Amino acid sequence: MSKEAQENLAERKMRFLFALRSKGVTDARTLNAMEAIDRGRFVRGLFSERAYEDMPLPIACGQTISQPSVVGLMTQALKVGSRDTVLEIGTGSGYQAAVLSQLARRVYTVDRHRRLARDSEALFAALSIPNIVTIAGDGSRGLPDQAPFDRILVTAAAEDPPGPLLAQLKIGGIMVLPVGQSDTVQSLIRVQRLESGFDYEELRPVRFVPLVEGMASD
Ligand code: SAH
């Protein structure tokens, strides 16, 4: 890369972090994690030019990599501790899992598209990220063998919080997820498991692809 191209990239990355702050991503650990993980590695082909802009972009299998400010707001809402085990449903490009990997002890990430799980796993290896376990599976059932989790993040929208995911949250644990019908406005909510029952908090309107039950064919 030429010196000019390098400077240009550095400037775009600086603007990327500035845009995150201006949209309310203020948590220092989250910003550090997002500075450490290069979104450009998770976007391929034509769209890689736009990796540092605050917009969702298309990825393989008709899915999308979320808008960076939404990744930041969801990550900070999850309040991940350095000893936490996190479950992410909806690996997609792998970007959100990579950001979480900087904050947690271990991240399990599940996608119903084998191809997305496989490509993300290869990318985590190429980036020498050791603490992500990538699984091709139906995340609406959670991951009973590894449960319970300190934190759960769902990056596809269900009509209601899936029962198996609520059941796989530790007491005191937090889950952040979009809920609502697809193609209409969904709400990002935060659920905390209490000694008995759950506490629900509505955070902001969002728009995600739907959580679909069962495995995809690719
Ligand atoms: N977190 C991703 C973006 C996710 S897009 C990123 O950082 O790029 C939503 C993803 O959820 C898609 O990849 C889709 O295949 C996946 N998905 C939808 N329903 C699912 C289910 N039941 N189990 C696992 N993954 C699911």
Q: What is the DSSP string of 40-55?
A: GGG--GGGGGGTTSSS
**Alpha carbon of 81 to those of 88, 151, 189, 191, 197: distances in Å?**
15, 9, 19, 17, 22
CA 169 centroid distance within chain: 17
Predicted confidence (pLDDT) at residue 109 exceeds the cutoff of 80 = yes
- With bands split at pLDDT 50, 70 and 90, how would you rate the model's confidence at 5? confident
Phi, psi of 96 (to 5 degrees): -60, -40
Q: Whose CA is nearest to atom 14 of ligand 1?
A: 90
Predicted confidence (pLDDT) at residue 182 exceeds the cutoff of 80 = no
CA distance 59 to 67: 12
- With bands split at pLDDT 50, 70 and 90, how would you rate the model's confidence at 3? confident
Is the pTM here over 0.95, yes or no? yes
Asked whether 178 lines ligand 1 (CB < 6 A), one says no
Burial 71-96 (b: 16+ CB within 10 A, else e): bbbbbbbbbbeeebbbbbbbbbbbbb
Six-digit token pair at 182?
């697809």
Looking at residue 14, its pLDDT comes to 92
Residues labelled as active-site residues: 66
Residue to probe by mutation, ligand 1, list 140, 177, 212, most atoms within 8 Å of CB: 212
Q: What is the whole-number distance in angstroms between the Cα of residue 209 and the centre of ligand 1?
A: 8
- With bands split at pLDDT 50, 70 and 90, how would you rate the model's confidence at 179? very high
Residue 88: beta bridge partners? 109, 153
**78 and 176 Cβ atoms separated by less than 8 Å:** yes
Looking at residue 39, its pLDDT comes to 96
Looking at residue 142, its pLDDT comes to 98
Query: Minimal CA–CA distance to 98: which of 28, 10, 52, 34?
Result: 34
What are the structural domain ranges in the chain? 3-206
- With bands split at pLDDT 50, 70 and 90, how would you rate the model's confidence at 172? very high
- With bands split at pLDDT 50, 70 and 90, how would you rate the model's confidence at 11? very high
The count of other CB atoms within 10 Å of the CB of residue 171 is 10
Comparing 46-55, 64-73, 112-121, 162-171, which segment has the lowest mean pLDDT? 46-55
**Vertex 22 angle, CA 97 and 1, to 5°:** 60
Q: Look over the chain and give the mean of its residue pLDDT values, rounded to a whole number.
A: 95
CATH of domain 3-206: 3.40.50.150
Asked whether 93 lines ligand 1 (CB < 6 A), one says yes
Predicted confidence (pLDDT) at residue 42 exceeds the cutoff of 90 = yes
Residue to probe by mutation, ligand 1, list 39, 43, 113, 114, most atoms within 8 Å of CB: 113
Radius of gyration of the chain (CA): 17
